[in-house]
Amino acid sequence: MILNGLPRLGYTALRLTTETGAPPHHESWVRISHWILAAALLVLVFTGVAILMVHPRLYWGETGNDLTPALLELKISRNYRHGGWTAQTPFFQAPGSAISAVRTYDIFNQNGWARSLHFLSAWWLAIPGVLYLVNGLARGHFRWPQYGRAQRLAYRFIVFVAAPLMVLTGMTMAPAVTAAMPFLLRVFGGYQSARTIHFFTFVVLLVFTAGHVVMVIRSGFRRQMRGMTLGS
Amino acid sequence: MAAENRPKLITRRRAIVAGLASVGGVFLARRPAELPPTYGNLLRMGDTFTYAAHRALLPGQSLVKEYTLADLSSFPATGTIDDKGKPPAAAYRKLQADGFTGWTLTVEGRVRTPRAFALRDIKQLPSRTQITRHTCEEGWTAIGQWTGTPLSAVLDLVGVLPSARFVIFESHDEWVDGIDMLDALHPQTILAYGMNGRELPVQHGAPVRLRVETQIGYKSMKYLKRIVVKDEFDDGGEKGNIRNGWAWYNGI
ipTM: 0.92
| Residues sharing a CB contact under 8 Å with residue B64, sequence separation 6 or more, in sequence order | A175, A178, A179, B132, B133, B188, B213, B214
Beta-carbon separation of A119 and B252 below 8 A = yes
* A83, part of any domain: no
The terminus-to-terminus CA distance of chain B in angstroms comes to 53
Residue spans of the domains in chain B: they are 64-244
Local confidence band at B84 (pLDDT 50, 70, 90 cut-offs) = low
Paired strand residues for A99:
A90
Residue A115: is its pLDDT beyond 80? Answer: yes
Mean pLDDT of B190-200: 98
Domain count, chain A: 1
**Chain mean position to CA A151:** 19
Interface mutation target, options B11, B138, B216, chain A, most CBs of A under 10 Å = B138
The reply to whether A47 falls in a domain is yes
pLDDT above 50 (res A11): no
Does a structural domain hold residue A148?
yes
A207 belongs to a structural domain: yes
**The domain defined by B64-244 carries CATH number 3.40.50.300:** no
Alpha helices in chain B (DSSP H): 2-5, 12-30, 42-57, 90-97, 119-124, 151-158, 181-184
User: Is residue A73 assigned to a domain?
Assistant: no
Q: Which domain holds residue A173?
A: 2-16+25-62+112-229
> Are A59 and A70 contacting, i.e. CB atoms less than 8 angstroms apart?
yes
In a domain, A81, yes or no: no
Per the CB < 8 A criterion, the answer to whether B198 and B204 are in contact is: no
Minimal Cβ distance to A66: which of B42, B76, B133: B76
Is B170 strand, coil or helix?
strand
Nearest partner of A130 among A27, A199, A208, A37, judged by Cα? A37
pLDDT of residue A17: 45
**Residue A6, pLDDT above cutoff 50:** no
Residue A67: per-residue pLDDT: 97
Residue A2, pLDDT above cutoff 60: no
CB contact under 8 A, A176 and B135: no
When mean pLDDT is compared across A1-15, A54-68, A190-204, the lowest value belongs to: A1-15
Q: In chain A, which among 104-133 make CB contacts under 8 A with chain B?
A: 106-107, 109, 111-113, 115-117, 119-120, 123, 131
Give the mean pLDDT of B116-141.
Answer: 98
Q: How far apart are the first and last CA of chain A?
A: 32
Question: Is pLDDT of A10 > 50?
Answer: no
Instruction: Express each pLDDT in A128-185 by its tens digit.
Output: 999 999 999 999 999 999 999 999 999 999 999 999 999 999 999 999 999 999 999 9
Res A20: pLDDT: 62
Q: What is the DSSP string of B80-122?
A: -TT-TTSPP-HHHHHHHHTTTTT-EEEEEESBSS-EEEEHHHH
Interface touch A55/B196, C-beta < 8 Å: no
pLDDT in the model for residue B2: 54
Q: What is the pLDDT of residue A5?
A: 41
**CATH at residue A221:** 1.20.950.20
pLDDT-wise least confident of A103-107, A160-164, B30-34, B93-97 = B30-34
